[in-house]
Amino acid sequence: MQTIIALAPLVSHRLCLAPPPFPRHRLLCRRAPSIRLPSHRSSTTSFRLLSSFAASRDSEMATEDGQDPRIPKIASSIRVIPDFPKPGIMFHDITTLLLDTEAFKDTIDLFVERYKGKGISVVAGVEARGFIFGPPIALAIGAKFVPMRKPKKLPGKVISEEYSLEYGTDKIEMHVGAVEPGERAIIIDDLIATGGTLSAAVRLLERVGVKIVECACVIELPECKGREKLGETPLFILISSA
């Protein structure tokens, strides 16, 4: 079952897309007209119409077809930082979104609407910005919040998963006993770039028998190809830009 997230640009062009059936993991991308964010530093940012596929057996998890009118305001509240962390990458800084109370609330509402009532008992949040979005979602859907942390931060017994960086490796950790086999989880982070951290979080939870229903991020940097790294695990995002 496919999901269409329509991203209305900031100018008056409106993109409407009827949802044709697509096989899983196919992305439907139509390049929107280039638009200018009011408070960013780069010259233009283009938004992409994105389709994202929910887990194959959770067909009821699709968002509404067409545009969600909250998305443009969320998108416009995010500051774009060009050439960070390296040349050619347009980093998206959510700290400006957090200063817009309506946009922040809408962001959480969009995730809560998607995951409420779906039997999700675990919301795992990746340190540190995942700790901003994960807890309010967990509270709203009645799930536990599980922080996934950098090494040596968690005080109890932990299990770890290593992942590759451009140079070297890093680790992500979770407390032993935080989750039980058979639980259904979503993993939250603010942004997916290369997908290294998120895919490590997926592996860590799957190792202890948790079913990852979906990974969810506010932003995707598609040029970093993080979605490929997630493989079979579905990814839901609100905003994608290049």
Residue positions annotated with a catalytic role: 129, 166
For another protein, the closer CB: 37 or 154: 154
| 89 scored as a contact of another protein (CB under 8 A) | no
Alpha-carbon separation of residue 54 from 27, 48, 72, 151 (angstroms): 12, 19, 22, 31
For another protein, the closer CB: 32 or 201: 201
Q: Taking CB under 8 A as the rule, which mask of x and - marks residues 153-172 in contact with another protein?
A: xxxxx---------------
| 81 scored as a contact of another protein (CB under 8 A) | yes
Q: Are 80 and 45 in contact (CB under 8 A)?
A: yes
How far apart (Å, rounded) are the C-alpha atoms in residues 98 and 107?
10
| 104 scored as a contact of another protein (CB under 8 A) | yes
| 85 scored as a contact of another protein (CB under 8 A) | no
Interacting positions 174-213 with another protein (CB under 8 A): 175, 178
In sequence order, the 6+-apart residues with CB closer than 8 A to the CB of 155 are none
**What DSSP line would sit under 77-140, residue for residue?**
TSEEEET-SSTT-EEEETTTGGG-HHHHHHHHHHHHHHHTTS---EEEEETTTHHHHHHHHHHH
| 139 scored as a contact of another protein (CB under 8 A) | yes
For another protein, the closer CB: 93 or 206: 93
Report, in angstroms and rounded to the nearest whole number, the Rg of the chain calculated over CA atoms: 17
Q: How far is the CB of 220 from another protein (least distance, A)?
A: 19
Stretch that binds another protein, among 8-16, 59-67, 87-95, 217-225 (CB under 8 A): 87-95
How far apart (Å, rounded) are the C-alpha atoms in residues 240 and 27?
12
Binder of another protein out of 79, 118, 171, 211 (CB under 8 A): 79
Amino acid symbol at 198? L
| 90 scored as a contact of another protein (CB under 8 A) | no
How far apart (Å, rounded) are the C-alpha atoms in residues 58 and 224?
27
Residue 186 three-state SS: strand
Q: Which residues bind another protein (CB under 8 A)?
A: 79, 81, 84, 91, 93, 95-96, 98-101, 104-105, 108, 127-129, 131-133, 135-136, 138-139, 142-147, 149, 152-157, 175, 178
